[in-house]
Homo-oligomer: A and B are copies of this chain.
Amino acid sequence: MPDILHKVGIKSASPSDVYKALTTIEGLSAWWTTTTQGDNNIGGVLRFRFGNGGFDMKVLELDPARRVLWQVVDGPEEWIGTKISFDLDQRGDWTIVLFRHEGWKEPVEFMHHCSTKWAVFLLSLKSLLETGKGAAWPNEVKLDSWE
């Protein structure tokens, strides 16, 4: 089963700082989508919107400054049931984020699209923490005419 894997290292940010950006509505709104709402506690559902579409994620695990795990409960068919995790590790002055989006059934073109798009948003997370400014939707790099 193909997975989307990424890594970003974030300079001069602690795992706690990164964890905050991954687990608060304010943080998520600053690097992923400005229209983020919902319940950010374990068992709660976060609602990420991008204009007409979006994703609902159930929060499955929260391990402060170490790990976040979500499962997609609503959104595009290819995403439903897939899991998204962020594992954090401090190395010297850097926090390393290992990202996984697991459970894709087929390596369809939409998976290519989402893989690059995740990189775009993870670079926005890095920028948010390193410079104070992310590029959340609708201000991120567009990869196709329909975006």
A interface residues with partner B (beta carbon < 8 Å): 2-9, 11, 91-94, 96, 98-99, 107, 109, 111-113, 115-116, 119-120, 122-123, 126, 141-145
Contact = CB atoms under 8 A, between A and B. Distances in A.
**Which 9 residue pairs are nearest across A and B when measured between Cβ atoms?**
A119-B119, A7-B112, A9-B144, A6-B116, A5-B112, A7-B113, A9-B143, A5-B115, A116-B119
Chain A at the B interface: SS class: mixed
A109 B141 CA distance: 26
Contacts of A145: 9, 11, 91-94
Contacts of A2: 2-3, 5
Contacts of A7: 109, 112-113, 115-116, 143-144
Contact of A8 (B5, B111, B116, B126): B116
Contacts of A113: 7
Given A9-B145, A145-B9, A145-B91, A119 B109 contact: no
Most buried by B among A99, A113, A115, A116: A116
Nearest to A123: B141
Contacts of A111: 5
